[in-house]
Amino acid sequence: MNRRDFLTQTSLATGGVLLLKTPGTAAPVAKAATRTILLRSSWNDHNIGDQGHTPGTLRLLERYIPEAEILLWHEEPRPETEKIITRHFPKVKIVRGSFYDGDKPFEGELKDAFDRASMYIVNSGMVFNYGLFGYDWANTMARLTPFYYCLDRGTPFGLYGQSFDRFAHPSMPVFRDVFSRAAFIYTRDDESRKFLKENNFKPRVLEFGPDGCFGIDVRDEERGRAYLKKSGLDDQKFLVVVIRTNTKHIYDKSGGSVLNPAQATPEQQEQDRQRLGKVRELITTWVRQTGMKVLLAPEVSKEVAQAKTGVYDQLPADIQSKVVWRDTFWNADEAMSVYARAHSMFGIEPHSLIMGLALGVPVVHARPLAHGLKGWMFRDIGLPEWLFEIDQTPASAMSDELMKIHQNYPLAKEKVRKAMAFVADRQKVGMQVIRKKLQLTS
């Protein structure tokens, strides 16, 4: 038995306590065994939602499992996200590197992190689907390989706040084999939970658990307040609008992807035209009925330009004068400081809206069905009346819901409070399960 296995078994036998002999004494003294959580997260620097998963889940781990050491794995460089983590989570150690690289041996800080880990957790997203957005088998297996490494070493693993939409042939038995051996799987929408259950996935825990971004509380008040002052946006006197288009990511050097095509098809171009037309109509209704301003805010870097050409430039002059187009991208903590002062939010993207809810701000989400099951999370936390399908819903229906929020704002704020109380309860339950799996019972 090697030293690591001996220490692990000893800690289990003593309820999470290692008995160490102090020099010069005859009796051992108790010392708490260290638990190390390796969290894989931070999917993108160019998307504040992909940034937001990380500080949200880190805050929950810090709150509910404060004695654990947290290692954060960034496979790709994430300099902007790392600014947020370094500033707001100084105890978290960031680990960089790929799990494998051709014929090179698995070594260095990432291997050390996996070998030290008491538990491996993959944070919120929808990366474990096959056939939903493509059929890249090699990439699918690459995402699963760390789980097999954990299984080989006896390290428990789990998935926190994931969506599962499709496991096309031949992937279903592979995903079922791996995920049925997970310590826990929390799905951020109940449709994903049903999907796994109906396909006979049997992890030890399979429950609804909100997207990690719901835990976010980081702010950059200096930048946020400066931007609001410069833009002439007063507290609770503006609507935030977030768009999403069928366009290529500005940093993508490949051929694009299904949801971010290098060259949109005529059908996708028409889809964008229809969607942004509804957004302009909604903005016009808001300004004329409330007299309040609108902030066109980017959740994804590519949408800065699209909001200008597709929305702002095409608004009537009297409406345009009440609309602020943000002309630069930002990080999640600055966005949080701005969203905290919004009256309400409307978005085709979901994670800015999650940030808004975490701040107590009412939201309306107009989801594209092609983005998957994740949109159901707004229904599943108790806000079905604020969830729409953008391609099937007229702008008037979405505008009407925004006006209901405006006309009875205290009621809307109470709806947010109740939804977030439910979210907080589910977060607590999930973190308690993780504590239990780590043999931390207090």
Question: Looking at domain 221-407, does it have CATH number 3.40.50.2000?
Answer: yes
Sequence ranges of the domains in the chain: 32-215+424-437, 221-407
pLDDT-derived band at 19, boundaries 50, 70, 90: very low
The pLDDT mean for the chain works out to 92
Query: How are beta strands 206-208 and 238-242 bridged, if at all?
Result: unpaired
Cα 133 to Cα 117: distance, rounded to the nearest angstrom: 32
Q: Which region among 23-27, 276-280, 365-369 has the lowest average model confidence (pLDDT)?
A: 23-27
Entry pTM: 0.92
- Domains 32-215+424-437 and 221-407 agree in fold: yes
Report pLDDT digits (tens) over 134-184. 999 999 999 999 999 999 999 999 999 999 999 999 999 999 999 999 999
Amino acid residing at 235:
D
Q: Of the given ranges (25-34, 259-268, 298-307, 410-419), which has the lowest mean pLDDT? A: 25-34
pLDDT-based confidence at residue 102 (cuts at 50, 70, 90): confident
CB 211 within 8 A of CB 426: no
* Fold annotation for 32-215+424-437: Rossmann fold (3.40.50)
Nearest C-alpha neighbor of 330 from the set 363, 357, 352: 352
Is residue 100 scored above 80 in pLDDT?
yes
Q: Is the pLDDT of residue 21 over 50?
A: no
* Res 60: pLDDT: 98
Non-local (6+) Cβ contacts of 278 within 8 A are 366, 390, 393, 394, 395, 398
Percent of the chain topping pLDDT 70: 92
Q: 33 pLDDT band (50/70/90 cuts)?
A: low
Q: What's the pLDDT tens digit per position in 362-381? A: 999 999 999 999 999 999 99
What's the length of the chain?
442
pLDDT category of residue 409 using cuts at 50, 70 and 90: very high
Please report the pLDDT score of residue 256 as a whole number. 82
Q: Stretch 307-330: mean pLDDT, rounded?
A: 98
Looking at the chain, the whole-number percentage of residues with pLDDT higher than 90 is: 88
327: Cβ contacts below 8 Å, ≥ 6 apart:
304, 308
For residue range 209-268, list pLDDT tens digits in order: 999 999 999 999 999 999 999 999 999 999 999 999 999 998 887 778 888 998 999 999
* Mean per-residue pLDDT, 409-432: 98
Please state the rounded mean pLDDT for residues 123-141: 94
